[in-house]
Structure 1
Amino acid sequence: MAELTYCSNIHPGESWADVMHNLNSHALDVKSRLPGNTPFPLGLRIAHQAVMEADNKAIAEFQRWCREHNAYLLTINGFPYGTFHETRVKENVYLPDWRERERVAYSKRLGDLAVALAPDAKRISISTVPIAFKPAFRDSDWAIALEHVREVAEHYRHIHEQSGIRLVLSIEPEPMCVLETTDEAIDFFRRLQLPDTLRPYVGLCFDCCHQAVEFESAADCLARITREHITIGKVQVSSALKAQGAEIQHLANFDEPVYLHQAVARDSRSGQLQRFTDLADFTQALSGGAHFDECRVHFHIPVFCEHLGQVGTTQDFLRDLLPLLDSDIPLEVETYSFAAIPENLRHGSVGENIARELMWVTALLEH
């Protein structure tokens, strides 16, 4: 069965001390709730601050922690560069984007740190932003963005030669970004034109919530990516909100000020999809008289939920996709917005919910 972990971006903290605190306070709690005592894979969110603070002493401390607790580094979330909790994040989560040198330097340092933290690893995926936020991007920006991605790929190739560890820069399509749909992801790799020597070092982070929001078919997405010989560095196991008919009015309950909740709605008359940058924009359209028969919202919720309150979820996308995946693709449950769910719909502790998610995925794959 595929290696399965959860992403530590559900826990607040930007420093290296926060990384270790979250391992001790949360990862061990989750591990204790799971059956058996098999090696526990880690999906670490490592912010820019933490990368800069992770010196040799910190690296040795992490390695000792892994030996003591029977754990190992599986994947890194290098998407959010800075603050990711308890303040307005919204579209700033993409900054710096792939037009900027800071994104290049951060991605290189994450690669260097990854092999230092896990010198016995064979492959580590590092997820990253989908080039840029679409409203801020121009066609003239493509040249520098592509150049920057190629530069990191070359750095990862050099690391592979020196360490034997293959790093995969895993670009994560997301609604309202330059890479949003499967079509746009495929177009990106065609634009990138990597030589065979660099192709192994750039792939996709396939986020199930994001592609479900786009009304895409799980089987079709996977088949097309496979035909293009695009590496899937990891799959983020996540679920979105889905409302139909009278349920749609209840989506407004999930509007909150921290994260961007992009919405894609199907027009009830034309059948066409309309995209909204944030949930507030969608609810404003409803107030203006727009009619939709279904809407899906980028809001990561526990994957075991078939319904959440008075709306549904895209859990069916997970049921369709996960059994189709090759067993060598890492799986990472990612429900970072748990604390943003309306309080009356949250049940149990963070640790309880994460463990339940991991067991739900395991049961689905073993079925």
Structure 2
Amino acid sequence: MSAVTYCTNIHPGESWAQTLASLENHTLAVKAALSPDEPFPVGLRVSGQASLELDIREAERFRHWLALSGLYVRTLNGFPYGRFHHVPVKAGVYLPDWRDPERLAYTKRLADLLGWWLPDDGSDAGPGSISTVPLGFRDGFDPGQEGLAFRHLRQALEHLDAVAQRTGKLIRLSLEPEPGCLLETTVDVVDFFRRFEAPPSLSPYLAVCYDCCHQALQFEDPAASLTLLADNAVPIGHVQVSSALHLESGCLDRLARFDEPVYLHQAVGRRSNGELLRLDDLPQALAGGRYDVESWRVHFHLPVFLAELPECLSTQGFLQEALPRFDPQTPLEVETYTWSVLPAELRACSLTESIIREISWVEAHRRPGRTPGPPPWPACAGGAPPR
């Protein structure tokens, strides 16, 4: 079975009917192009609304549809709960966070669904993984409420244990570090695992969702980051394969066209002494004028086959170093959910064509010794990137 797919949070739609339509309209075409004769994984986003609409009967119908279509589900994106496209999302994407009982209830619903859909033992699909908010967004999170968040997390792990006892399937809850959140660096993750102290019976159900864009934003070294996780026995449930903007200049104005109203675009500047300046959104950073930094990285997921743009580079180099270091059985998901807000020339391909090209690029770079994949500029864009 393939370990590389894409996350369906790229497709608009909050209802289950809309989710299923996107699979029929896009995912089946991706499978036909990349894995016509073998089962193909789906990195499935199920919103809060869709999770409430799905009953056992519909979940069973979907399981049969997956089998007939040659698809399987190993991972669920349980991070964005509410509407995720075409309206301002910004910091609302972290709500409800782990202080809120609804985050717990939502995660339990996802666990039940994945327990139903995850291939039975005996296949080589491996454990399931549900990505989730890294506790919450730091701004407005009272440190005194961390204990409440920890209690809800433990209850979620207890539910995953119950699912495992009932179904024989291991599903991990994978916290996804993100800039501006309580967990953003690899050091934060290791510190959390030490402080959380999951009992031995529940520790198999807790992991991290490793988003390459998010860790590149911290100017982390991929080898050092992954070694730190391994040395501290922090498992990776699945990987979000993504790139950020990288500007080798202190003049952030060059990235002004990426200031758009839907998503949060955290900006991180690195000073000459290695210190980092962190700002919660690109408009805030642009309004601040010039900063004493040598380079910037901005949270804006780009197609992973792009190494450079007219005004800057991407953090593709982080991916090239990181991809061969992941266990071959770890699920890899391309996550370019920003498709609808990308500058027009970066959408010169169709959405389906872009997804296919991104997955092909990942496949070409995740195996050591392989030669680089296709050129950084989309062939369907025609010619070389503009200067």
Normalised to the residue count of structure 2, the TM-score between the two structures is: 0.91
Establish whether residue 277 from structure 1 lines up as the match of residue 280 from structure 2.
Answer: yes
Write out aligned runs for 1:4-153 (5 A): 4-34=4-34, 36-118=36-118, 120=120, 122-153=126-157
Identify the match of residue 251 of structure 1 among 247, 251, 255.
255
| CA drift at 1:138 | 2.2
1:209 and 1:238 in contact (8 A); partners too: yes
Structure 1 stretches of at least 4 aligned residues deviating more than 6 Å after TM superposition: none
Q: Secondary structure at the match of 1:168?
A: strand
Establish whether residue 170 from structure 1 lines up as the match of residue 174 from structure 2.
Answer: yes
Partner letter of residue 322 of structure 2? L
Q: Give the match for residue 338 of structure 2.
A: 337
Q: Give the match for residue 362 of structure 1.
A: 363
Aligned CA distance change for structure 1 residues 352 and 277 (closer, same or farther; 3 Å): same
Select between 46-55 and 168-177 the one with higher mean Cα deviation: 46-55
Establish whether residue 161 from structure 1 lines up as the match of residue 165 from structure 2.
Answer: yes
Aligned CA-pair RMSD: 1.5
For 2:11 and 2:364, how far apart are their aligned partners in 1?
25
Higher relative contact order (CA 8 A, sep 6+): 1
Which structure 2 residue ranges, 5 or more long, are not aligned?
A: 371-387
Q: Secondary structure at the match of 2:73?
A: strand
| CA drift at 1:283 | 1.0
| CA drift at 1:82 | 0.7
Residues 23-47 of structure 1, C-alpha deviation per residue, up to 9 Å, x if partnerless?
1011012222225421110110000
For 1:319 and 1:2, how far apart are their aligned partners in 2?
19
Residues 231-256 of structure 1, C-alpha deviation per residue, up to 9 Å, x if partnerless?
11001111111011277432111000
For 2:187 and 2:282, how far apart are their aligned partners in 1?
24
Q: Give the match for residue 236 of structure 1.
A: 240
2:2 and 2:41 in contact (8 A); partners too: no
Partner letter of residue 363 of structure 2? T
Select between 242-251 and 76-85 the one with higher mean Cα deviation: 242-251
| CA drift at 1:292 | 2.2
Partner letter of residue 308 of structure 1? L
Aligned CA distance change for structure 1 residues 116 and 319 (closer, same or farther; 3 Å): same
Q: Secondary structure at the match of 1:234?
A: strand
1:6 and 1:334 in contact (8 A); partners too: yes
Residues 66-111 of structure 1, C-alpha deviation per residue, up to 9 Å, x if partnerless?
1221111121000001100000000000000001100000001100
Which structure 1 residue ranges, 5 or more long, are not aligned?
A: none
For 2:204 and 2:274, how far apart are their aligned partners in 1?
39
Partner letter of residue 187 of structure 1? D
Q: Give the match for residue 297 of structure 2.
A: 296
